[in-house]
Chains A and B, each alone.
Chain A
Amino acid sequence: MKNLYVLVLVLFLFISGNTIGQNCTHNFSGIVSDIHNAAPISAIEIYIKELNKKVETDSLGRFQFSSLCPGKYTIVCSNRDGYKPIVKLFDVQENIVYNFKIEVHLKELAEVKITTLIKPKDKLSTLNATSLFGDELEKNRATNLGDIVKSIPGVNSLNTGNSVSKPVIHGMHSNRVLILNNGIRQEGQQWGSEHAPEIDPFIADKISVVKGANSIMYGSDAIAGVILVDTKPLPDSASLGGEINMVGNSNGRGGTIASFLEGKFKRLPAFSWRIQGTLKQNGTIAAPDYLLINTGLKEYNFSYELGWKKKNYGAEIFYSQFNTTLGIFGASHIGNLTDLQHAFESKVPLESTSFTYAINRPYQHVEHELFKAKFYINTGKVGKLNLVYARQYNWRYEYDKHGPLNNLLASKNNPDLEFHLTTHTLDLNWSHARRNGFKGTVGLQGMQQANTYRGRKLVPSFENGSIGVFVVENWQYKRWELEAGLRYDVKQLSVYQSEKIVSNQSVLVKTSHPFEQATASLGANYTIDTTWKCMLNLGTAWRAPSVNELYSDGLHHGAAAVEYGNSALKVEQAYVATFTGLYTPNEDLHIEVSPYYNFIQGFIYRQPTPTPVLTIRGAFPGFNYAQTDAILRGIDLYTSYHFTHWMEWKVKGSLLRAWNQAANNWLIQMPADRIETEFGFHLDHNQRLKHIYIGPSIQYVAKQHRVPEGSDFVDPPSAYWLTNLNIATHFRMGKNHAEIGMHITNLGNTRYRDYMDRFRYFTDAMGRNISFRLKYRF
Chain B
Amino acid sequence: MKKKMFKPFMLALGAFSLVVVSCKKDDLKPTDDHVHNDSELITTLELKFSGKGVLRNDTTFVITFNDPDGDGGNIPTQFDTIHLLKNSTYNVELTLLDKSKTPTDTISNEVLEEANDHLFFYSSNPIGLVNVSITDKDGNGKNLGLKSTWETSNSGFGKVKVKLMHQPGVKDGTSATGDTDVEVDFQVNVK
A residues neighboring B (CB under 8 Å): 265, 267-268, 271, 273, 304, 306, 317, 319, 321, 333-336, 338-339, 342, 350-351, 367, 369, 371, 393, 395, 401-402, 404-407, 409, 412, 414, 416, 420, 422, 450-457, 461-463, 494, 496, 498, 504, 506-508, 510, 553-555, 562-564, 613-620, 622
| CB 8 Å contact bits of B137-161 with A (1 = contact, 0 = none) | 0000000000000000000000000
| B85 close to chain A: CB less than 8 A | no
CB <8 Å contact, B24 and A395: yes
Q: Can you give 5 A-B contacts (C-beta < 8 A)? A: A267-B1, A304-B17, A306-B13, A463-B30, A613-B75
Q: Contact between A335 and B180 (Cβ–Cβ < 8 Å)?
A: yes
Say whether A615 contacts B67, CB under 8 Å.
Answer: yes
Which of B10, B33, B69, B166 has a CB less than 8 Å from the CB of A402?
B166
One of B53-61, B86-94, B104-112, B125-133 contacting the partner: B104-112
Interface presence of B63 (CB below 8 A): no
- Quick one: which of B66-117 are within 8 Å of A by CB? 67, 69-76, 79, 102, 105, 107, 110-111, 113-114
Interface of B is mostly: loop
Are the CB atoms of A452 and B76 closer together than 8 Å? Answer: no
Q: Does B135 contact A (CB under 8 A)?
A: no
Q: Which of B32, B45, B176 contacts A616 (CB 8 A)?
A: B45
* Contact between B39 and A554, CB atoms less than 8 A apart: no
With A405-B110, A454-B36 as contacts: A615 and B70 at CB distance below 8 Å:
yes
Tally inter-chain residue pairs, CB-CB below 8 A.
160
A616 in contact with B71 (CB, 8 Å): yes
Asked whether A617 lies within 8 Å of B181 as measured between CB atoms, the reply is: yes
**Inter-chain contact B10/A616, CB cutoff 8 Å:** no
CA distance A118 to B56 in the complex (A): 84
Q: Contact at A617–B183, with CB atoms within 8 Å? A: yes
Known contacts A555-B72, A614-B75; is-contact A450 B179 (Cβ 8 Å)? no
Query: How many Å lie between the Cα of A362 and that of B20 in the bound state?
Result: 31
Q: A369-B24, A407-B110, A454-B38 are in contact. Are A461 and B30 (CB under 8 A)?
A: yes
Given contacts A319-B17, A613-B73, contact A496 B1 (CB under 8 A): no
A420 to B27 CA separation, bound complex (whole angstroms): 10
The reply to whether B72 and A553 form a contact with Cβ atoms under 8 Å apart is yes
Q: Residue B70 contacts which of A614, A616, A619 (CB distance < 8 angstroms)?
A: A616
Give the chain B neighbours of A553 by CB distance below 8 A: 72-74
Q: How far is the CA of A462 from the CA of B182 in the complex (A)?
A: 32
B183 touches A338 (CB 8 A): yes
B176 cross-chain contacts in A, Cβ below 8 A? 342, 350
B102 → A minimal CB distance (Å): 7
* Known interface pairs A306-B13, A369-B23, A406-B40; A554-B72 also in contact (CB < 8 Å): yes
Check A393/B24 contact, CB under 8 A, given A267-B1, A456-B39, A506-B33.
Answer: yes
Report the minimum CB–CB distance from B151 to chain A (whole Å): 25
Q: A393-B24, A614-B76, A617-B183 are in contact. Are A453 and B70 (CB under 8 A)?
A: no
- The 9 A-B residue pairs with the shortest CB-CB distance, nearest first, are A618-B183, A404-B40, A405-B110, A461-B30, A335-B180, A508-B33, A393-B24, A452-B28, A554-B72
Contact B72 A371 (CB under 8 A): no
Q: Is A306 a contact partner of B38 (Cβ separation < 8 A)?
A: no
Interface residues of B in 157-187 (CB under 8 A from A): 163, 166, 168, 176-177, 179-184
